[in-house]
Amino acid sequence: MPARLDDDLELDGYEVRRIDGSRTTKEYVCPDCGNAVERGESHVVVWPEHDNDLRRHWHQHCWRLEVRRSRGAS
Ligand SMILES: [Zn+2]
């Protein structure tokens, strides 16, 4: 069993995985704030269920805000 995510990181329709900083090998660009997710920074990778091609690496705090926004909108 994979470790459960915090409830505030889960969003219906999306797969979310937490990436430990020690396992990151490159920099990514966060789709929310447009800033770099630095190498070595713990973050989350997110993709719509059934669409692996749309994997994006987010700052954890940016994804948390997105979850909050999405829940508020529904
Ligand atoms: Zn960000």
Q: Is the pLDDT of residue 1 over 50?
A: no
Give me ligand 1 centre to Cα 40, in Å.
15
How many structural domains does the chain have? 1
Give me ligand 1 centre to Cα 11, in Å.
17
Q: For residue 46, with 0-12 CB atoms within 10 Å meaning exposed, 13-18 middle and 19 or more buried, which class applies?
A: buried
What are the pLDDT digits (tens) for 45-73? 999 999 999 999 999 999 999 999 998 86
**Which sign, positive or negative, has the C-alpha torsion 53, 71, 40, 15?**
negative
Q: Is the pLDDT of residue 3 over 60?
A: no
Range(s) of the domain holding residue 29? 7-73
Give a yes or no: residue 1 inside a domain. no
